[in-house]
């Protein structure tokens, strides 16, 4: 497991990234971005806009699917035969379920600010904090969508066996100040996945794709280019 610590975007703009932007590698896989609980494309706005200079990108809409398993199956039904997969928060758990079902279709994984263990009585309170953090996106969802996705998260399965079986190049990314999916959880995830690297975004909490968009995009650019 390799650990990388990344500061602000202003420290990351370099000639390597400029070369990647101006010399598009047509062999890069299609990238699927999976948002978290009642989030939408705005959570991935910076990453999608930038990475489309490198490859094709699509963003998943979970709709009224009320389990992580159903979300994963819906994703697999409408995606190419092989693809790179990036999931944030609950989207990371969906990505693990995709890998549980179709590991050979995923050529690379990026798991951002997520977790892998099932819900317990001790960690139930974190769900409420997560909901409060993304109220700005709830208004765009119907009550049915909100209820379905809450149910999916509450019934989350244990992904430990999946992590041990992942063999594609994997980036595990976490904001240093993420209090809901802390760094210790991501260290455990990275330790379980054989071909993984851990990236820590400084001065950043749970919503890393929006809090430090440039730093996250730079890390994802390096990960995608390595596939």
Q: Which residues contact 136 (CB under 8 A, 6 or more apart)?
A: none
Q: How confident is the model at residue 186 (pLDDT cuts 50, 70, 90)?
A: very high
According to the model, what pLDDT value does residue 13 have?
37
- pLDDT for 193-219, tens place per residue? 998 999 999 999 999 998 899 999 999
Query: Does residue 223 have a pLDDT over 70?
Result: yes
User: Which pTM was predicted?
Assistant: 0.80
Tokens of 37: 């609980």
Instruction: Say if residues 178 and 205 touch (Cβ distance below 8 Å).
Output: yes
> Domain coordinates of the chain in residue numbers?
2-225
CATH of domain 2-225: 3.40.50.1820
Lowest-confidence region among 69-73, 99-103, 119-123, 151-155: 119-123
pLDDT in tens, 129-139: 445 555 666 66
- Residue 183 or 145, more confident: 183
Instruction: Please report, to the nearest 10 degrees, the dihedral formed by the alpha carbons of residues 199, 205, 206, 209 taken in order.
Output: -70
Tokens of 92: 């990371």
- Closest to 47 (Cα-Cα) out of 217, 175, 208: 217
Burial status of residue 167 (CB atoms within 10 A of its CB: 0-12, 13-18, 19 or more): middle
Report in angstroms the alpha-carbon separations of 130 from 54, 114, 150.
31, 11, 11
Give the model's pLDDT for residue 70.
96
- Residue 138 is predicted with a pLDDT of 63
């Amino acid at each position: 497991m390799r650990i990388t610590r990344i500061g602000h975007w202003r420290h990351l703009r370099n000639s390597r990234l400029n070369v990647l932007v101006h010399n598009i590698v047509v062999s890069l896989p299609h990238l699927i971005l999976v948002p978290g609980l009642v989030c939408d494309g705005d959570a991935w706005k910076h990453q999608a806009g930038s990475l489309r200079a490198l490859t094709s990108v699509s963003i998943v809409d979970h709709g009224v699917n009320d389990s992580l398993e159903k979300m994963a199956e819906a994703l697999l039904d409408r995606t190419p035969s092989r693809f790179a997969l990036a999931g944030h928060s609950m989207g990371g758990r969906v990505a693990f379920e995709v890998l549980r079902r179709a590991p050979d279709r995923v050529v690379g994984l990026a798991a951002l600010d997520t977790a892998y263990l099932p819900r317990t009585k001790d960690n139930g309170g974190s769900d409420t904090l997560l909901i409060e953090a993304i109220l700005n996106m709830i208004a765009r969802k119907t009550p049915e969508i909100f209820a379905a996705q809450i149910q999916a998260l509450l019934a989350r399965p244990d992904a430990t066996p999946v992590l041990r079986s992942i063999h594609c190049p994997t980036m595990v990314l976490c904001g240093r100040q993420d209090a809901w999916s802390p760094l210790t959880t991501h260290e455990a995830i990275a330790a379980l996945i054989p071909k993984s690297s851990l990236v820590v975004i400084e001065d950043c909490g749970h919503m890393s794709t929006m809090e430090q968009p440039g730093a996250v995009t730079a890390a994802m650019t390096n990960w995608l280019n390595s596939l």
